[in-house]
Structure 1
Amino acid sequence: MAREQLQVLNALDVAKTLWCHFTTIIIVGMGFFTDAYDLFCISLVTKLLGRLYYHVDGASKPGTLPPNVSAAVNGVALCGTLAGQLFFGWLRDKMGRKLVYGMTLMLMVICFVASGLSFGSSPKSVMSTLCFFRFWLGFGIGGDYPLSATIMSEYTNKKTPGTIIVAVFAMQGFGIFVGGLFAIIVSTAFKVKFSAPAYEVDAIASTVPQADYVWRIILIVRALPTALTNY
C-alpha cells in the first residue's frame, strides 16, 4: 500500500503540466475567488444598507451605517475566518482533507444564501441576522484557505509548483474584480428599471423599495460558484 502511494506521488512529481492541473486550479481556486468576492464586496453593500435602513428624515445626506454597525458587518467575517482556520485545520488532521473541504464548501453555500436572506422587521434585527450568518460564513472561509492550498500543493509537479500555487491564489484578484463589477452591473440595472429622483429633490423617493433586492442579489449569487465547486 505504501509503495503504491509512493508511486502515485512520484508520478505527480515528474508529470508535465497537463489539462488536469488547469482544471484543479479552477476548482480549488474557486474557493479563493468566492472568499475574496465576499470579503471585499461587503464594503460596497454597506453603502446601500445605510441608505436603506438608517435614513434620517430631514438629513442633508443619505443615511449611513453607524460606525459600530459598519465595523461589525465588515469585521465579523474576519473573526470567523480566524476561528475557522484553527478549527478546520485541526479537523482536517482528524477526518481527512477531502471530507473537511466539502464541509467548508457546504457551510459557505448555506451562509451565502442565508446572509442574502437576512430577515427582520427593524434595522437592528436585519443587521444582527446578517452579522450572525457572516460570522459562520467567515468560519467556512477560514477552513477553505488552508485546505485549498494543501490540495493544490499535492497535485503540483516538481517543475512548476510555484506557478501553479500562485495561479490558485491569483483567483483572489479575480474575485475582487468580479465582486465590484457585479455590484455595479446589478445597481445599474435596478437604476435603469426603477428610476428615482435625486436625494436633494425627494429624499424618500430617491431610494426605491426594490433597492432592498440589490444587496441581497449581490450576496446570494456568490453561492453559485461555490456550489459548482462542491459538485
Structure 2
Amino acid sequence: MAAPFNTLIPHRLDRLPWSRFHWLVVIALGVTWTLDGLEVTLVGALAGAIHNSPSLRLSSTQIGFTASAYLLGAVCGALFFGWLADRLGRKKLFTLTVLLYLSATIATGFSWDFWSFAIFRFLTGAGIGGEYSAVNSAIQELIPARRRGVTDIAINGTFWGGASIGALASVVLLDPAVIDPDLGWRLAFGIGGALSIVVLFLRRWIPESPRWLMTHGRREEAEKVVGEIEAWVEVEAGPLPKVQGKPISINPRRHTGLGEVARTLFRTYPERAILGLVLMSCQAFCYNAVFFTYALILTKFYGIEAQHIGWFMLAFALGNLAGPLTLGHFFDSIGRRIMITATYAIAGLLMAATGLAFAQGWLSAWEQTAAWTVIFFFASAAASAAYLTVGESFPLEMRALGIALFYALGTAVGGVAGPALFGWLIEGGQRQDIMWGYLLGASLMLVAAGTEWKLGFAAEGRSLEDVARPLSQASDPAN
C-alpha cells in the first residue's frame, strides 16, 4: 500500500466555479432518479391495465406485492453494489448498475405471469438501488461544497421528471384508440431501456471520484483527474480561485471492513445513524404507500378509467418536481436542520388532514389529486434532503455503503411494507381503513421532523471531509 501523503484535492474540487463539467455530472449521473421515477409511475399508472391484462390479470394485492418486490430488489441492490462501490470505485459500479437496470426493465415488458413480472421488477429495483449508492456518492464528491445541498436535492427531485414522462407515456400507450392497452403497458417498460442507452454514452465522460482514488492510495491518478477537471473548467471560467485551506494527510487503504463500518456508525456517529434511519424509513413509507397505490384509489373509489390515470399522475408528479427545485436553495442558505424539520412537519400535518377528508368522502378525484400535490410539494423536498443527509453524515471510505445501508434499511422498514399494506387496505374497499393508513404515514412524517430538530447537524457550505473526517485521514500532516 502507498505511503501516507498530503493532498489538497478536496479543497481544489470545492473551490471550482460551476461549469459545464458539473452540468455533465448532474445530467449523466442524476438521471438515476429520473429512471426510478419513471419505473414507479409506470407501475402506478399502468396498475389498472395490468390488473385487466388478459395475460396477467393481477389482483390489487398482487400489484401491491410486485411494488414491494421492486423495492426489495432496490434494497438488495443498494447493499451489494454499495459495498462494491467503496471497494472497486464509483465509475465501474455506475456502469454495471445501469446495464442491469436496462436489461431488467425491458424484460418486464415480456412478463407472462405474476412470478415473472415480480422477478423482473425485483431485478429492475436491484439496478436502481445500486445506482443510488454508487451515483449519490460520486455526485456529492464531485460537486463544490457551497452548491452541494441545492444540487443534491434538485437531482433527487428529478425523480418526478421521470414520473411525468411515465404519466404522459401511459396516457398514450393505454389509449385504445392508439394501441391495444395489453400491448401498450408492455411497450411502456421499454422507455427506461431507451433512456439508459443514452445514459451509458454520457457516463463515458465522467471520471472516477478523485476523493475515492485519494483514499485508496492512487495519488497520481487522483491528481491527474483533478487537473483535467480544472483545465476543463478554466477554459470556460477563466483563471481559477486560489486554493484555500490546509492540506490533509491520508494514510491510504485498500478497503474498509464491515466491522469498522459498524463501529463508525454506532460508536462514532450513533446520533447520525438514528437520524438517517428515521428520515429514510418515514419518507419511504409515506411515498411508496401513497404513490404505488394511487392509481388503485382513483379507479376503485373515484371510477377513473385506466387510460385517464396518467393525467392525474402528471399533476401529482409536477407538484413533486416543483418542491425540490423551488425549496432546494434554502437548504444551503437557511440551513439543513430548519428546512428538513419544516418540510417533514408540514407534509405530515397536511397528510393527516387529507386522510380525514378522504374518509369522509369530501374530495373529488381532482381535489384529492390537488391535496396530494400540495402535500408532496413539501414531502418531495424532505425526502430528497434525507438522501442528502445520509450522504453527508459519514466518512468518505464508507459513503457509498452508508448511503446503501440507510436506503436499504429505510426502504425495508418503511417502503416494502407500505405498498403491500395499502394494497390490502384498498382491496377491502373501506375508506375508514385506508384513512388509518394515511394517518400512520402522517405520524411517521411528524416523528421524522422531531428527530431532525433534535439530532440534525449543520453541513451547509462545509467540505465533506469537515462534516465527517475520513477514516484514512491522519491526525497530523504527513512529512
Name 2:91's counterpart in structure 1. 98
Give the match's secondary structure for 1:53.
coil
Secondary structure class of the residue paired with 2:17: coil
User: Take 1:193 and 1:157, find their aligned partners in 2: how far apart are those partners?
Assistant: 47
> Superposition pairs for residues 103-122 of structure 1, below 5 Å?
103-118=96-111, 120=112
Deviation at 1:151, TM superposition (A): 1.0
Corresponding residue for 1:167? Answer: 154
How many angstroms does 1:7 deviate by?
4.4
The farther-off stretch of 217-226 and 67-76 is 67-76
Name the residue aligned to 1:201.
none
Pair 1:5–1:104, CA change in 2 (3 A): farther
The residue identity in structure 2 corresponding to 1:222 is G
Aligned to 2:79: 86
> In structure 1, what is the Cα distance between the partners aligned to 2:178 and 2:156?
37
Letter matched to residue 41 of structure 1: L
Aligned to 2:193: 223
What is the number of equivalent residue pairs in this alignment? 200
1:54-203 paired onto structure 2 within 5 Å = 65-118=58-111, 120=112, 126-188=113-175, 191-193=176-178
**In 1, Cα distance between equivalents of 2:91 and 2:3:** 20
* Larger Rg over CA atoms: 2
Q: Report the CA distance between 1:68 and its aligned residue.
A: 3.3
CA contact (8 A) 1:54 1:65 kept: no
Distance 1:152 1:47 in 2: 37
CA distance in 2, matches of 1:163, 1:70: 35
Change (3 A) 1:2 1:183: farther
* Residue of structure 1 equivalent to 2:182: 212
In 2, Cα distance between equivalents of 1:157 and 1:16: 8
Superposed CA offset, 1:53-86 (max 9, x none): 389xxxxxxxx63243222222210111111111
Q: Residue 138 and residue 193 in structure 1: after superposition, are their counterparts in 2 closer, same or farther (change >3 A)?
A: closer
Letter in 2 for 1:223: G
Q: Which residue of 1 aligns with 2:415?
A: none
Asked whether the 8 Å contact 2:13–2:143 carries over to 1, the reply is yes
Paired amino acid for 2:177: V
Contact 2:34 2:158 in 1 (8 A): yes
Residue 221 of structure 1 aligns with an amino acid whose one-letter code is: I
Provide the rounded CA distance (Å) in 2 between the counterparts of 1:187 and 1:54.
16
Structure 1 residues 13 and 2: alpha-carbon distance in aligned structure 2, compared to 1, 3 A threshold:
farther
Distance 2:103 2:3 in 1: 38
The one-letter code matched in structure 2 to 1:113 is: I
Q: When the two structures are superposed, what TM-score results if normalisation uses the length of structure 1?
A: 0.79
Deviation at 1:187, TM superposition (A): 2.4
Instruction: Give the aligned partner of residue 34 of structure 1.
Output: 35
- Asked if 1 retains the 8 angstrom alpha-carbon contact of 2:28 and 2:199, the reply is yes
Q: 1:25–1:152: 8 Å Cα contact kept in structure 2?
A: yes
- Closer, same or farther: CA 131–3 of 1 in aligned 2, 3 Å: same
2 and 17 in structure 1: CA distance in 2 versus 1, 3 angstrom threshold? farther
Q: Which runs of 4+ in 1 moved over 4 A?
A: 1-5
The change in CA–CA distance for 1:2 and 1:175 in structure 2 (over 3 A counts) is farther
* CA deviation vs aligned residue, 1:141-186 (integer Å, no higher than 9, x gap): 1111122211111111132111221221121121112111111122
Aligned position for 2:7 = 6
How many percent of aligned residue pairs carry the same amino acid?
A: 22
Alignment CA distance shift 1:20-1:4 (3 Å)? farther
Mean Cα displacement is larger for which, 7-16 or 23-32? Answer: 7-16
- Aligned counterparts of 2:144 and 2:3: Cα–Cα separation in 1: 20
1:24-57 CA distances to partner (integer Å, 9 max, x unpaired)?
11111111100111022202222101212389xx
Q: 2:58–2:114: 8 Å Cα contact kept in structure 1?
A: no
Consecutive unaligned residues of structure 2, counting only runs of 5 or more, are 202-479
Over the residues paired in the alignment, what is the CA RMSD in angstroms?
A: 2.3
Most deviating of 146-155 and 105-114: 146-155
- 1:159-216 deviation per Cα after TM superposition (whole angstroms, max 9, x unaligned): 211122122112112111211111112223xx3246xxxxxxxxxxxxxxx3221001
Q: Secondary structure at the match of 1:222?
A: helix
Counterpart Cα distance in 2 of 1:2 and 1:159: 31
Alpha-carbon offset, residue 109 of structure 1: 0.3
Match of 1:197? Answer: none
8 Å contact from structure 2 (residues 85, 133) kept in 1: no
Between the aligned partners of 1:150 and 1:18, the Cα distance in structure 2 is 20
